[in-house]
Amino acid sequence: MRSPPSHRNGETPPSPHPRIPASPHFQSTVTVQKLKRFNSLILVFRFATFIFSLSSSVFMATNSRDSDSPRWYDFDAFRYVFAAGAIVALYSLFEMVASVWEITRGITLLPEIVQLWFDFGHDQVFAYLLISAESAGTVLAKTLKGTNTCTAWGGFCVQSDISLALGFAGFLFLGLSSLMTGFRVVCFMINGSRFHL
Amino acid sequence: MRSPPSHRNGETPPSPHPRIPASPHFQSTVTVQKLKRFNSLILVFRFATFIFSLSSSVFMATNSRDSDSPRWYDFDAFRYVFAAGAIVALYSLFEMVASVWEITRGITLLPEIVQLWFDFGHDQVFAYLLISAESAGTVLAKTLKGTNTCTAWGGFCVQSDISLALGFAGFLFLGLSSLMTGFRVVCFMINGSRFHL
């Protein structure tokens, strides 16, 4: 992990104005520290999104173990929940790699402006995708509760509900990530650098 | 409509440095003009959101005219679509008043920081609410298509579909408003004024 050079009082070379050359380094270190804290918080949200959306997909995909039980992929809305969860999990995995890369190396994985817009745009779109899928799945789960399906195969309906709850939790963390990456984009637009937090 | 004072070349009082006092007024006028254009664009999006979400609610609420046809309020998801559309329409109406107030008087309806956070927070939450409601309604409409309801009362299902399509259009414009109000919040956080666009 590299960090910009810092100067202690005793180590600065003698000069008629010793405070002037030290000042930009000091500001830069503080800014880099703030950016690292900010990126670490995004990484935590990414990790939570990944865990919840992956669990949601896995719970949905493993919901038809008995040969005579209803199959989750026969229901459009459950396929939508599975697909949205899987897409968001894959995206979160990529974003975690990008985030760790940025924290350890101090540069973004893609060119800076591309990375910022990529993050924010995808966060917004995938947050809408996930809430849309979970809402659709919830209505289907509720409709099924009034039919014979849930009377005969109660476990199928319970596991669908768990998958949906996990998906909603994933949406919560993705929404928080979206707020933070939106903030980064505007900082860049205004100041020309993501370092001005 | 008030505008800040402007000085033509011939009207400025004689001074040894005539450009210096005129400069702040010129910058202020440019900034106010930019802010007005920005606010006018938000107003257009608000108006579109209002029209689409209100139409969505009205189409849903007028969907049970015959005494023997299915009643929309017997279906949870359709009640959700109606409620979400009505809430977003009311909110957009309030925001249109606030926007016209700001464009004509140059000040926000609520205290500036409260107004900016109020707008952005509600835009985000209501955009998620609306996409969630429309997705839920879509699954129900799709489920109904496989039942006797749509065979016997085709008009009921067509009108539900129209209501849902209008709701999705409302969501699109609300999402655009949300992006713009988010931009205003960050401008305020960074510069301490919504005038720095």
- Give how far A63 is from chain B: nearest CA, Å: 20
For B87, the enclosing helix (H) or strand (E) is helix B76-105
What kind and span of H or E run contains A194? none
Q: Report how many domains make up chain B.
A: 1
CA distances from A2 to A5, A29, B188 (A): 9, 12, 33
Q: Is the Cβ–Cβ distance between A175 and B123 less than 8 Å?
A: no
Q: Evaluate whether residue B14 is within a structural domain.
A: no
B136 with A133: Cβ contact below 8 A = no
Q: What is the pLDDT of residue B65?
A: 72
**Which single residue is written with the structure tokens 């020309």?**
A192
Which residue in the set B135, B183, B190 is minimally distant from A132, CB to CB? B135
CA distance B85 to chain A (A): 16
Q: Is pLDDT above 90 for B113?
A: no
| B79 interaction partners in chain A (CB closer than 8 Å) | none
Residue B42, domain member (yes or no): yes
Instruction: Give the other-Cβ count within 10 Å of B90's Cβ.
Output: 14
Q: Is the pLDDT of residue A68 over 70?
A: yes
Question: Residue B134 and residue A136: Cα distance in Å, rounded?
Answer: 9
Task: Please check whether residue A144 touches B, CB under 8 A.
Answer: no
More confident residue, A164 or B19: A164
More confident residue, B58 or B184: B58
d(CA A46, CA A119): 11
User: Would A101 be classed as within a structural domain?
Assistant: yes
Distances, alpha carbon A98 to alpha carbons A46, A88, A159, B32, in Å: 11, 15, 33, 39
Q: Does residue A143 belong to the interface with chain B, where contact is any CB pair within 8 Å?
A: yes
B122 within domain boundaries: yes
Can you give the pLDDT at residue A16?
Answer: 44
Is residue B32 packed enough to be buried (19+ CB in 10 Å), middle (13-18) or exposed (0-12)? middle
d(CA A77, CA A164) in angstroms, rounded, equals: 11
Q: How far is CA A104 from CA A3, A32, A36, A100, in A?
A: 9, 12, 9, 6
Q: For residue B14, is pLDDT > 50?
A: no
| pLDDT for the residue A194 | 65
How far apart CA B178 and CA A61 sit, in angstroms, is 34
pLDDT tens digits along B118-149: 999 999 999 999 999 999 999 999 989 888 88
Q: Please report whether residue B102 resides in a domain.
A: yes
pLDDT at B26 over 60: no
Range with lowest mean pLDDT among A131-145, B161-175, B176-190: B176-190
> Is A2 a member of any domain?
no
> What is the extent of the structural domain holding A152?
30-191
In angstroms, the separation between the Cα of residue A84 and the nearest Cα of chain B is 13
Is B136 inside any structural domain? yes
CB atoms within 10 A of CB A179: 16
In this predicted structure, the answer to whether residue B46 has a pLDDT above a threshold of 80 is yes
Complex prediction ipTM:
0.75
- Given a contact cutoff of 8 angstroms between Cβ atoms, the answer to whether A53 and A92 are in contact is yes
In a domain, A19, yes or no: no
> What is the value of pTM for the model shown?
0.78
Largest CA distance in chain A: 87
Q: Which two tokens stand for residue B48?
A: 């579109």
